[in-house]
Amino acid sequence: MARRTSRDSRNLPLFPLHTVLFPGGMLPLRIFEQRYVDMAKSCLASEGTFGVVLITSGDEVIRDKAAGAPSFAAVGTEARIVDWDMPQLGILHVRTEGLQRFSVERHSVATNGLVTGDVVAIADEPTCAVTQRFVPLVKLLELIAARVGPQQFPPERRYDDASWVGYRLAELLPLPLSIKQSMLEINDSEVRLSVLMRFLSDQGLL
């Protein structure tokens, strides 16, 4: 469903939300707006993906079409539907997995309100092992994983991967959305872990 554009960019349907999806993360969604139900059905039919972007101003549900789409962050994460259910007509429950980050070069809004964007993939961070300094973060993440349960946590555990540990902590900790977004946009796993460790230490949690 995504068409290729120039300069290694591609066109991707976007789902602005009051949440931040990280690579490797799991995001359950309850979809009822027709534009997004149609988008999800198209993704399921074609094994396509869509982009999750953080709303910076506006609402998830557009009640006044004249108001247009909400404002959203320029960096988001591609999402793939891994499971779905329709418990009642018009309500679609999907479970999505975060894939690669991307930056939005430009976007447009269709007549039905669906936002699509020309996006460019952001390269994955180099694989970096968790150093001894950040072992307390790993132990904290293990505790959180045990509490939230398998439905809210990726089945593959990579506690030795600095990027994976940082992403999981950033999505699970009760951080302001603006901080979560900055954690997504950071391109250095050790910097991300350092910021998280400082925050947790300031809160007396480490």
Domain range annotation of the chain: 10-121, 132-202
Q: In CATH terms, are 10-121 and 132-202 the same topology?
A: no
pTM exceeds 0.75, yes or no: yes
Nearest to 12 by CA among 39, 44, 35, 38: 39
**What is the CATH code for 132-202?**
1.10.4060
CA 47 to chain CA centroid, Å, is: 18
Residue 81 to residues 41, 50, 116: CA-CA distances in angstroms? Answer: 10, 9, 18
Beta bridge mates, 107? 117
Report the 10 Å Cβ neighbour count for 41: 15
What pLDDT digit, counting tens, does each position of 162-182 carry? Answer: 999 999 999 999 899 999 999
Backbone φ, ψ for residue 168 (5° rounding)? -65, -45
| Consecutive H or E run containing 93 | strand 91-109
Report the 10 Å Cβ neighbour count for 129: 9
Instruction: Tell me how far apart the alpha carbons of residues 2 and 14 are, in angstroms, rounded to a whole number.
Output: 11
Instruction: Tell me how far apart the alpha carbons of residues 178 and 158 are, in angstroms, rounded to a whole number.
Output: 26
Q: Which CATH class is domain 10-121?
A: mainly beta
Q: Residue 187 has which token pair?
A: 């391109």
Residue by residue, pLDDT tens for the chain (206 residues) are: 444 444 588 999 999 999 999 999 999 999 998 899 999 999 999 999 999 999 998 775 655 555 567 889 999 999 999 998 887 887 899 999 999 999 999 998 888 889 999 999 999 998 899 999 999 999 999 998 888 877 677 778 899 999 999 999 999 998 999 999 999 999 999 999 999 999 888 887 77
The whole-number pLDDT of residue 89 equals 80
Instruction: Tell me how far apart the alpha carbons of residues 94 and 92 are, in angstroms, rounded to a whole number.
Output: 6
CB 49 within 8 A of CB 12: yes
Side chain identity at residue 77, one-letter code: T
